[in-house]
Structure 1
Amino acid sequence: MTLTAGERPATEQSPAPRSSRLFPWVVFTLTFGLLLSDYMSRQVLSAVFPFLKTEWALTDTQLGSLTSIVALTVGILAVPLSLLGDRFGRARAVVLMAVVWSLATVGSAMAANYGQLFIARFLIGVGEAAYGSVGLAVVLAVFAAHRRASLTGAFMAGGSFGSVLGVALGGVFAAHFGWRWAFAAMGIFGLILAVLYWVVVRESKLEKYRISDGVGEGPRLGAGRKRAGLATLFSTPAVVLAYIGGGLQLFIAGSLFAWLPSYLNRAHGMVPARAAGVAALLILVMGAGMVICGMITDRVSRKRPISKWTTAIFFSTLSLVFLGTGFAIAPSKAQLLLLAFGCFFAAGTTGPTGAMVARLTHESIRATAFGTLTFFNNLLGLAAGPIVTGILADRLGLETAMKYVPLVAVGAIIALLIGRSVYPSSLKRLEVAEASNNL
């Protein structure tokens, strides 16, 4: 059967009976919980920026590097560690990664200087490197294909919600018990969840509840569980442009994660605890936007899969308009309202781009495919955003630096527009590859 970009296969319209069972939702809940822990450990640092800046006399570039080293390490190691997860067991990989980043977070509480904290943050990045990709592959394997954008958006929104908890709780712990306890609390929480995951989620049970891709939901390169070649990760222009567009858009989200508390502290004159609380609310709005944008995408693309690209372009454009206007005006309540609207759409492309990558890659290497997406998300976005903004802040001031951050959406929009134009031909290329591999 030949499918066009506007057609939806019948197998995608009705989920398999197993998808209604409880276990897939248990998997989602626990995997989502660990993603919360992942970002709590990563973003608690933003809440203690003012304390570290005062105690260790750090520059904004140094503070930005402590955030960026995590995302950079994640970006570099995401693909190889995701590949290991695909090969040797995704559930086992999830538990191991959670233990590593949690212990490293506890180690951050013991750092005596910038150098030691930098090493601890690097180890957090090692632990977190493949979690987003492997965890998402675990979730999508036990749910039907028609829920992909919603599940991807909801799952990845855990990054925003975890950042909210990390910033908000970190600010409270730092204010009442000292900044070291902010790190320690996050690490202990992660260790508890890792043990629970190890007890409940097993490889054999995941295999029992696995739902195969339907026709047209990824290139079927061979029968049964035959593993696709790694070259399929870059086999079409559309999937490459999805990687690039999604990564560039997350430059904005990464900058907001790292610098909103400090921006509110400096531009609005808020004390660190209040700045952390308001920033947490804005990041919570970002997480809600990821979920809702994913749901909207699934709705509008139900009969026209190419609409995933259209919604991603729309969300990116709205983030550019609202954030660009917000950071351009003077600090005020009106500015905070504009920033809230901008934050809602800042990471709204996450669900659509995740669904695009799932559509254009094979399930047998899907964790590796999401690892590749994670590489671009971090290299172009979550790693680049904090450090580039920090460098600009040292030279121009943080208020001026934040005015430039939304402009990166222009690059994301261009990549997504081109990706949309080549999507139909990319689908045809996948069909040809499928046919040749099934001969």
Structure 2
Amino acid sequence: MAGVPAAAAGPGATNARPGARAWVVLGVLTFVYVLNFLDRQLLSILAKPIQDDLGVTDGQLGLIGGLYFAMFYCILAIPVGWLADRTNRVKVLAFSCGLWSAATAACGMASSYPQLALARMAVGVGEAGGVPPSYAIITDYFPPGTRGTALGLFNLGPPIGAAMGVAFGASVAAAYSWRMAFLWVGVVGVLTAVGVWCFIREPRKGGLDPAPAQPSSPAAATGAAPGFVDTCRNFFANPVLRNMALACGATQFVTYAMLNFTVLLLMREKGMTLEDVAVWYALVFGLGSAAGMFASGRLIDRLARRSRTAYAYLPAAGLVLAIPFFLGFVSAGSWQLALLFLVLPTGLNYFYLSPAVTLVQEEVRPDQRVLSGALLLLVMNLIGLGFGPTYLGMASDFFRATHPDNSLQMAFYTLVPFYLLAIGWFLLLARSIRRQLAQQEASP
């Protein structure tokens, strides 16, 4: 039986199944996400040659990979999300992809640290319109009950992009220069943006959603589009959405700090070469994080049917299991042993993303999905992307005076309390979900 197109299904089409077009769109959007993260990972993979060429410190690398990038990426995602909810989300995505790809190419032409910093800020401006529109487009191509799996597959973009960034970036840098890696990725991204603009069809907003039993707000009752301020206020007033965003932010503090400095740790303090990075680290990160993304998406589709608290307990369990292996990775005396320990944390650290995106997309109205997804990214990326790499880079500079040979290793040890903070916040999220369920059962 053919799948029901998202653009044709009406409200209440709870039995609709994704058709071939939905899977093609998912594949294209995932490739765009791969390029998004491939570019982001290039800076950390090529940190050593960039340091050697431009003479930047760990702290400066942390700033351009963290706070400077996040200021534009997170904040601009809010007005871009609001615009996308009211216009064509596909066109917004395509324009954004073209912009960040051109800025990526500009990174390869930077001849000083200020020029590189400005180019990275421009990348952040473009990437602000990448992920939130994709979340909403996928949600409108896939009906409830399949969205966790679809978004889990979409969230394979970061691990695939990071793994490709490792393999491609390290190989090109070893054979040519770090600049060529940025230039080539930028060109591919611009061509992809043109393809998205020309060939992806905008789905109807809410076309596969079940009809609500009763309006959840005055705007919903009248059919009026919710205002920007109302959507923001409702997001942060909802304890489930607020705690999910904060728990993800604490988790991303760890994951983005690791993403930006793991290769530098392996090369500078554990003896790995660029050629080794291109093969072995690419395999470990790509396979480990992809398995974590996909497994969590499949698991949340199953577990959330039994209890919505699975949206909180699944990420918390992943982080608890990751901690001892993370410590093994940091303390290992060789890069081979370090990579062996890194396999499980690489997957378990990402058990939060698919549950978080699925919960937010199903908790809000269809015409609030892009902005709500942008608000989720604002909180978790401003905390995680903005401060995780920045903190770790500065911590490494701090430890250099007393531990000149292993300052990054000492800095990595200080990430353990942030693991514990993230676990605690997911437990608070579970309590908020239980309270919400109790209130719904008590209401007439």
Q: TM-score, normalised by structure 2?
A: 0.88
- CA distances 1:299-318 after superposition (whole Å, capped 9, x unpaired): 22223222222212111212
Paired residues of 1:257 and 1:283 also in contact (CA < 8 A): no
Distance (whole Å) between structure 1 residues aligned to residue 309 and residue 336 of structure 2: 38
Task: Classify 1:111/1:419 alpha carbon distance in 2 versus 1 (closer, same or farther; 3 Å).
Answer: same
The residue number in structure 2 matching 1:87 is: 86
**Post-superposition shift, 1:276?**
4.5
Identical columns (%): 25
Distance (whole Å) between structure 2 residues aligned to residue 274 and residue 72 of structure 1: 33
- What amino acid is the match of 1:301? A
| Total equivalences in the alignment | 421
**Post-superposition shift, 1:370?**
0.8
**Post-superposition shift, 1:208?**
8.6
The residue number in structure 1 matching 2:321 is: 318
Paired residues of 1:72 and 1:383 also in contact (CA < 8 A): yes
Task: Classify 1:406/1:293 alpha carbon distance in 2 versus 1 (closer, same or farther; 3 Å).
Answer: farther
2:397 alignment partner, SS class = helix
- What amino acid is the match of 1:395? F
2:306 alignment partner, SS class = coil
The residue number in structure 2 matching 1:21 is: 19
Distance (whole Å) between structure 2 residues aligned to residue 219 and residue 308 of structure 1: 22
1:425 is the counterpart of 2:435: yes
1:139 alignment partner, SS class = helix
The residue number in structure 2 matching 1:55 is: 53
Task: Classify 1:140/1:422 alpha carbon distance in 2 versus 1 (closer, same or farther; 3 Å).
Answer: same
2:429 alignment partner, SS class = helix
Unpaired stretches in structure 1, ≥5 consecutive residues: 1-11
Distance (whole Å) between structure 2 residues aligned to residue 75 and residue 187 of structure 1: 21
Paired residues of 1:218 and 1:362 also in contact (CA < 8 A): no
Q: TM-score, normalised by structure 1?
A: 0.89
Paired residues of 1:102 and 1:124 also in contact (CA < 8 A): yes
Distance (whole Å) between structure 2 residues aligned to residue 318 and residue 218 of structure 1: 41
Distance (whole Å) between structure 2 residues aligned to residue 390 and residue 427 of structure 1: 42
| Matching residue within 348, 352, 356 for 1:349 | 352
- What amino acid is the match of 1:46? S
1:146 alignment partner, SS class = coil
2:146 alignment partner, SS class = helix
Equivalence map 1:363-382=2 (5 Å): 363-382=366-385
The residue number in structure 2 matching 1:3 is: none
Paired residues of 2:304 and 2:311 also in contact (CA < 8 A): yes
Equivalence map 1:114-125=2 (5 Å): 114-125=113-124
The residue number in structure 2 matching 1:212 is: 209
**Post-superposition shift, 1:350?**
0.6
Unpaired stretches in structure 2, ≥5 consecutive residues: 1-10, 400-406
The residue number in structure 1 matching 2:38 is: 40
Task: Classify 1:400/1:386 alpha carbon distance in 2 versus 1 (closer, same or farther; 3 Å).
Answer: same
The residue number in structure 2 matching 1:242 is: 244
Q: Pairwise CA RMSD of aligned residues? A: 2.6
Distance (whole Å) between structure 2 residues aligned to residue 51 and residue 174 of structure 1: 8
The residue number in structure 2 matching 1:340 is: 343
The residue number in structure 2 matching 1:298 is: 301
Paired residues of 2:206 and 2:367 also in contact (CA < 8 A): no
1:392 is the counterpart of 2:392: no
Task: Classify 1:208/1:87 alpha carbon distance in 2 versus 1 (closer, same or farther; 3 Å).
Answer: closer
2:125 alignment partner, SS class = helix
- What amino acid is the match of 2:418? V
1:222 alignment partner, SS class = helix
Distance (whole Å) between structure 2 residues aligned to residue 150 and residue 395 of structure 1: 43
Distance (whole Å) between structure 1 residues aligned to residue 441 and residue 141 of structure 2: 25
- CA distances 1:369-400 after superposition (whole Å, capped 9, x unpaired): 11011112211112222111111111221111
1:93 alignment partner, SS class = helix
1:20 alignment partner, SS class = coil
The residue number in structure 2 matching 1:193 is: 192
Distance (whole Å) between structure 2 residues aligned to residue 33 and residue 224 of structure 1: 38
Range 267-276 or range 100-109, more displaced: 267-276
Range 100-109 or range 381-390, more displaced: 381-390
The residue number in structure 1 matching 2:166 is: 167
**Post-superposition shift, 1:109?**
1.5
